[in-house]
Chains A and B, each alone.
Chain A
Amino acid sequence: MNGQPVPASPLVALDTLWLQVAGTLCNLQCTHCFISSSPTNHAHGMMSLADVRPYLEEAERLGVREYYLTGGEPFLNREILEIIEAALALGPVTVLTNGLLIRPETAARLRALSDATPYSLDLRVSIDGADAATNDPIRGAGTFDRIVAAMGVLARAGLNPVITVTEACQGALSSEGRARLIAFLRECGLEQPRLKVMPLLRLGAEATRTRAYAEWESLRGRTIDAEAAAALQCSSCRMVTSKGVYVCPILIDYPGARMAGTLAGALRPFALEYPACFTCHEQGLSCRT
């Protein structure tokens, strides 16, 4: 199998820039985290505003459309509000968070940042079920109540978060399961519930929780037509971490997925040789909202 050719994703246009502003550092240690973020994982480090700024300047010149800030937990970053503000000056921003560190004062600051720009600011909060019994074994004891409280804090500040669940979450892929989750979000105080369902990636902690990718889960030897290749998120995104520019938000644990030290150096096709590429292709996965 290894000798067979691997299809490539073109870089059609750099529309979406991801910034791993909290590295792999997180206040939680979710059992399905595909980059095994935790309080002690320093694989990718925190990025300061000064670290981020050259990439933002380059992104502005390249005409990037939107920015996603993630980690780890972005609100562990002491300069997160300044980074959000700097990115919002250039375009719409989405912050992926577990919500636990968003206090009412933080939410008020976020609301003020949102009101000061014509561009959208989105908070995306993850949860793993509509009750503690489902959520807490994955995200940690006591987290369900704290996530629900965070949703309330954001809602009261007039920020309507997008709630992310994984496909493993109580039938989120079925219309009944989806309706249950939407009803749950209304109960949490979200009057216009917004829900995103993500596939699981069998990498990092998730590879231990369930299983790793099997050998057949690969695009090696496959042909992908131009339209399907252009639909992959890596045809329109790049990810910046403290270690440089990676192809996408998923593959940052693979040294081979680091493409360059600058965005300009990473504007080229990428060989789809990793098992997670199979998930993106087969399930149409995009980490974008």
Chain B
Amino acid sequence: MPDLKRAEDHGAFRRVAFLGGIYSNYLALAEALRIARARGVDAVYALGDFGAFGPHPDRTIEVLREGGVPAIQGNYEESLSTSADDCHCGYTDPRDNAFAQVSYDYTRRRTSPEHKAWMGTLPGHVRLSIAGRRLLLCHGSPRKINEFLWESTTPAPFIRRLLRDADADVVVCTHTGLHWSRFVEGGRGIVNAGALGRPANDGRPEVWMTLLEDRGGALAVEHVPVAYDHHRLAREMREERLPEEFVETVLTGWWTTCLEILPAKERARGRH
């Protein structure tokens, strides 16, 4: 368990947008920031994994840094800033790992040293509060940067333990690429912000961000679809010679890789 006492505390907010894995989808990132402004948020937080999968990783980092978006480390930032040889995504299947390595090698080669150093300065966790609820922001889970918190394998008793151990009312995370939330008693629960980087394996090209806000003293969760120029992203991915399997996902909304890590229910919802 990381030392969560060292998590930065950023204070109280009314309405916040959370961006899950961006995976170099700088086009969706720009659109998400526009939506967040239009929705009148006090802050936008990026939950890590800025690179992978998509083209031109530096462009995403530039948008984040120029926009002053506060961010925490994902496994990608941890790996890139420490010159690790792989992404530590946590896959167990050889095919999934082979595609993950293609992503990581490309991203590592195309991310500037200055951006990698910046990634090393990011915190692993941040605390803030909305509607009196104490939130802990992390990438995978409070206890592990690359733990997958899936909707169908994160049951209520386990959520109670995670929250107790993290000394938080709500954990906000990403890493799985699929958005969901589950609340137990007392407005306590887990919010997975999903991913801006690639669609949610639902046959739609949109990607997802998540808004949390104080609505009359209660914490309201809204998973928001983000439409963007996915044809342009696909074109740029082909120009960069990224795998056609990745391009297919961008265009169809169905995952073609990282499939074996999916639990039964999440797998059954997809095409592949």
Contacts and interface: CB of A to CB of B under 8 A. Distances in A.
A160 interface: yes
Contact of B268 (A13, A59, A158): A158
B182 to A, nearest CB: 8
Interface string B229-265: 0000000000000000000000000000001100111
B161 interface: yes
Contact of A120 (B143, B157, B160, B265): B265
Given A120-B265, A160-B267, A192-B267, A65 B154 contact: yes
Contact of A122 (B94, B150, B264): B264
Given A122-B264, A158-B268, A192-B272, A92 B155 contact: yes
A120 B161 contact: no
B263 A90 contact: no
Contact of B161 (A62, A66, A92, A159): A62
Interface string B117-161: 000000000000000000000000001000000111111011011
Interface residues of A, number: 26
Interface residues of B: mostly helix, strand, loop or mixed? helix
Most interface-central of B164, B260, B270 (chain A CB within 10 A): B260
B263 A92 contact: yes
A39 interface: no
B100 to A, nearest CB: 16
Interface in A109-155: 114, 118-122
Contacts of A194: 260, 267
B151 A63 contact: no
Given A120-B153, A175-B94, A91 B158 contact: yes
Nearest to B153: A92
A91 B272 contact: no
B257 to A, nearest CB: 13
A64 B162 CA distance: 10
A237 B151 CA distance: 21
A118 B190 CA distance: 15
B94 A178 contact: yes
B272 A119 contact: no
A50 B150 CA distance: 30
A272 B157 CA distance: 29
B56 to A, nearest CB: 31
A60 B157 contact: yes
Given A92-B263, A122-B264, A63 B152 contact: no
Nearest to B161: A63
Interface in A54-68: 59-66
Contacts of B268: 158, 160, 192
B94 A65 contact: no
Nearest to A179: B95
Contacts of A65: 153-155, 158
A91 B155 contact: yes
A63 B264 contact: no
Nearest to A118: B152
A217 to B, nearest CB: 24
A121 B153 CA distance: 10
A7 to B, nearest CB: 21
A13 B157 CA distance: 13
A66 B265 CA distance: 14
A158 B265 CA distance: 11
Most interface-central of A64, A120, A160, A192 (chain B CB within 10 A): A120
Most interface-central of A60, A64, A92 (chain B CB within 10 A): A92
Contact of A119 (B143, B155, B162, B260): B155
Interface in A175-206: 175, 178, 192, 194
Contacts of A59: 157
Contacts of A158: 268
Contacts of A92: 152-153, 155, 263-264
Interface of B: 94, 143, 150-155, 157-158, 160-162, 164, 182, 259-260, 263-268, 270, 272
23 contacts: A13-B143, A15-B158, A59-B157, A60-B157, A61-B157, A63-B160, A63-B162, A64-B157, A65-B155, A65-B158, A66-B155, A90-B157, A91-B153, A91-B155, A92-B153, A92-B264, A114-B264, A118-B151, A120-B152, A160-B264, A160-B267, A192-B259, A192-B267
The 5 A-B residue pairs with the shortest CB-CB distance in the complex, in nearest-first order: A63-B161, A91-B155, A120-B152, A120-B264, A120-B263
Interface of A: 13, 15, 59-66, 90-92, 114, 118-122, 158-160, 175, 178, 192, 194
